[in-house]
Chains A and B, each alone.
Chain A
Amino acid sequence: MNVAMMIPQRSLWDTVLPNLTILGIAIAAFLGVIFLIFVLAERASNNVQNILKYIVFLAPAALLLLIGLIYPAIRTLIFSFMNANSSEFVGFDNYTWAFTIPEIRIVLRNTLIWTLLVPILSTGLGLAIAYMTDRMKRAAVIKSLIFMPMAISFVGAGIIWRFVYTYEANVNRPEIGLLSSIWRAMEWEPRNWLLEAPLNTLLLIVVMVWIQTGFAMVVLSAAMRNIPDEITEAALLDGTSNFRRFTRITIPMIRATIVVVLTTITIGTLKVFDIVRTMTGGNFQTNVIANEMYSQSFRQMNYGTGSALAIILFVAIIPIIIYNVRQLRLERTER
């Protein structure tokens, strides 16, 4: 008798119903509690409300951030000076490890390449496309298509591009990957794209650029639309060439936005681990800090080295945080 026959197949409804129930209960309970708080609080006297307002409006978010972000960050800092299972202090050993082991140095080098190339290429391309489509009719469709990868998960993007880079070792079989196929049609030497370092890192960077260019384009073209028409028209009357107008007017006028886009993409790039994980699993010398941090912490179960890598990642971001806070201060005082 077939064993599979004996096991009752779970119907679709069996998987859907529990999830929908949990989902419904969670949202209803949450909103119910808030509704109740409001009903009660609105009846309270003004003095009570003056205290209650901090407890209801400010405290939940503040507590969550304190317990969920600030406290863990401090713990991670402490862990980074401890051994694998956080039982004793080891000083700077984990950091020495990170900067001396050849494998990890490759990881750091790759992360540096990512954080240099992705922001520059994405912002550059985004800027160019934004400028090309600035005064173009019916640019909406074009922009939507370039912006679309922003809606796709890094995992999904990883699969999409793995498919582009697929390589067929047997020359008698057809290539099913787009890139390899073009390569073969050109009769160039076949290459196993994702195995060849350092080419593979560049090919992974292409994926991130593919995603981020749309973001850069959208933000920069919004900035370009804010350039007063009079300025562009004056330049036009003077007979300024398109290229000069771009370098002398457009770029200086939107410089602040360009910096915002660059920093935003830099931060996103430092944190991204899904692409590398999906496409190469961090093998073949393509690993980056964010992925290695995950492997160290949850595969090797070494909280010491994992935390040290997280701290290195954070230290790389600190200048951007300081810059951002300064900018915000300036903006606020200008008002």
Chain B
Amino acid sequence: MSTLNRSRAKSAFSSPIASAAAVVIATLWTIPTFGLLISSIRPEQAINNSGWWTFFTNPEISFENYEKVLFQGTLIQPPMVQYFFNSLAITLPAVVFPITLAVFAAYALAWFDFKGRDFIFFSIFALQVVPLQLTLIPLLQLFAKGLSINGITIIPNLGITGTYIPIWIAHTIFGLPLAIFLLHNFLRQIPRELVEAAKVDGAGWFTMFRALIFPLSIPAIASFAIFQFLWVWNDLLVGLTFGAGSKEVAPMTVRLAEMVGTRGGGWEVLTAGAFVSTVVPLIVFFALQRYFVRGLLAGSVKG
């Protein structure tokens, strides 16, 4: 009945003008990316001497740009493939760490009874929108020098500058508030009877997490994982500041931004480079769009 109504309503509503307008907008939205993709597979002299749309009248295909940008490095300048794997090495741990810690904290905030619980929860919620810029300098100093108050060393200098560790930690910290908030909302919806029943069966807090809470929260974890993956993979600010300028750990975004800036910025390498950096998030996006949207709808607060 309701599906019937829905489809009747559908046919009654869909105006051809609106449909046409939507198609036009979608086309406009796609053209810039499409132009980049086409350009990246054209020979260098073709890119620089004619617009990418001439490809359709005079198609010339060459994968030299990709070969050049991906594999041709110099002594001091590693090729893009190095940065690709740097991005991978940054992103996967920077997804696993915050999600694990966040699902723990969300469990505590949703199901432990303790004083100050609401205060902590609201604080974390408020922290979601704190701009990273606010924390950069002190956090960098923390990684470089450790932390000491009045000469008492609280955190020693760990000598981790120039490794992946500061980048992982920074991403973990910045990802936590949103992750905790989303997962908390999800975990609260688990029926109290289920938790009580597990307690009656003699499950402790740890067994309960392992056997009940964690398996139930996997869908929510998946949604957030995609979110965090895209966020970390596409990030420039954290990679730039916490990578300490080391080419060994810099992600692809940092290299791309560098290519645009000073040296080596011909369109043939820029278009191919930009596409290489975009292809992974695009695959993730199109393959898992449904989960991504779910995550987005659950907590559209973080910027």
Contacts and interface: CB of A to CB of B under 8 A. Distances in A.
A215 B270 contact: no
B204 A176 contact: no
B126 A68 contact: no
B296 A218 contact: yes
Contacts of A281: 261
Most chain A CB neighbours (cut-off 10 Å) among B10, B177, B180, B293: B293
A67 B134 contact: no
A218 B300 CA distance: 11
Contact of B22 (A56, A68, A133, A158): A133
Nearest to B289: A144
Contacts of B100: 30-31, 34
B286 A57 contact: no
A105 interface: no
Interface of A: 7, 10, 12, 15-16, 19-20, 22-23, 26-27, 30-31, 34, 38, 41-42, 44, 46, 49-50, 52-54, 56-58, 60-62, 64-65, 67-73, 75-76, 79, 125, 129, 131-137, 139, 141-142, 144-156, 158-164, 166, 173-178, 181, 210, 213-215, 218-219, 222, 229, 232-233, 236, 242, 260-261, 263-274, 277-278, 281, 290, 293-294, 297-298, 303, 306-307, 309-311, 313-314, 317, 320-321, 324-325, 328-329
Contact of B30 (A41, A148, A263): A148
A271 B293 contact: no
A53 B108 contact: yes
Nearest to B254: A155
A237 B154 CA distance: 71
A271 B78 CA distance: 30
B52 interface: yes
Contacts of A163: 32, 35-36, 39, 267, 270-271
Interface residues of B, number: 125
A162 B210 CA distance: 50
Given A53-B108, A137-B14, A277-B257, A62 B120 contact: yes
Interface in B218-258: 230, 233-237, 240-241, 253, 256-257
A145 B234 CA distance: 19
11 contacts: A49-B204, A49-B205, A61-B101, A69-B174, A149-B29, A160-B274, A163-B39, A242-B13, A265-B303, A271-B133, A297-B137
A151 B282 contact: yes
B282 A152 contact: yes
B137 A278 contact: no
A23 B206 contact: no
Contacts of A20: 85, 89
Nearest to A210: B29
